[in-house]
Amino acid sequence: MQAQSFFTSFFAGVSNYKGDLGDGNSVLPNSHPAFGVGCLYEFNHRMLVRLDGTFGKVSGSDKLSRNRDRNLSFYSKINEFSVSFEYVLFDLYDYKVSPYAILGVGRFNFNPFTKNKNDQVVNLYEQNTEGQGFYKDRKAYKLTQTSIPFGGGLQWAINDDKRLAIVVGIRKTFTDYLDDVSTTYVDQALLTEKRGSNAASLAYRGGEVGAGSYPRDGAKRGNSNNKDWYSFSGISYRVRLKARGAKARNIRVDKISNNKSKTSCPKF
């Protein structure tokens, strides 16, 4: 009987990013396929706790924004595992469709890459483009971070055991280096001395598009006051897990005249 309180879920959709590279006009060009699997436990008809693994890709580019002088770009895989609480507004054992909301906490892994002017793939984390590890108090950022997943959507009850949902899930992060861009430029000579000419050429790429020379030390490169965000949006399908040979539990909650509720046994 305990197994009948569990659902397994499957997600398919797109992943997106919001940060220092790109703007509101670059959402569709920077959308990438995403998928996920999960398990949900049903406390009652409207409250569930869920464990999810979601996987996708994010990217951004100055070529798709108004700030093209930097000519920076990145892409990264996102692997996220989360636990969250789900609240369904209307009882889907009585109604066919209901809005629902999700709030939780997650851990995700990322690793930003780009392609240089020769179309070679370069790991940006290893370049320390903003002087991480040697400039002032800047430390290397961690590639595994915490996120706050929240969002919601609309659920449709195919029957008591199967549900289809549209979901928009936004992730607040606590890092500004999802795109490897956050604070200010490091002196070009110092960056070249510490990390090589390749790092300096990737810290500022305006010369590739004729936008000017490398900025002075301390010039603004990104906005560290705004942390990066990413999202997963799409369709999810869930089905109830049943014990072998058991019928699905169907508990009815009947309202009676004094506004109290009673629970009756399932009828076979």
pTM of the model: 0.84
pLDDT, residue 181, reads: 95
Q: Report the C-alpha gap between 180 and 131 in whole angstroms.
A: 11
pLDDT tens, position by position, 122-160: 999 999 999 999 998 899 999 999 999 999 999 999 999
Residue 252 has pLDDT above 50, yes or no: no
Q: Render the chain in DSSP notation, one character per residue.
A: -GGGGEEEEEEEEEEEEESSS--GGGTTTT-EEEEEEEEEEESSSSEEEEEEEEEEEEEEEGGGSS--SS--EEEEEEEEEEEEEEEESS-TTT-SEEEEEEEEEEEEE---EEE-TTS-EEESGGGTTT-TTTSTT--PPPSEEEEEEEEEEEEEESSSSEEEEEEEEEEEES-S-TTS--SBPPPHHHHHHHH-HHHHHHH--GGGGT--SPPPTT-B-S-TTS--EEEEEEEEEEEE---TTPPPP--EEEE-TTS-EEEEPPP-
Confidence of residue 85 (pLDDT cuts 50, 70, 90): very high
Confidence of residue 251 (pLDDT cuts 50, 70, 90): very low
**Other residues' Cβ atoms within 10 Å of the Cβ of residue 45:** 14
Confidence of residue 208 (pLDDT cuts 50, 70, 90): confident
Task: State phi, psi for 63 to the nearest 5 degrees.
Answer: -65, -20
Q: What is the mean pLDDT of residues 229-240?
A: 96
Q: In sequence order, what are the beta bridge partners of 171?
A: 149, 230
Averaged pLDDT of the chain? 88
Mark residue 243 as left, alpha or beta (left: phi above 0; alpha: psi -120 to 50; beta: remaining): beta
Looking at CATH, the fold of the domain delimited by 2-264 is given as Porin (2.40.160)
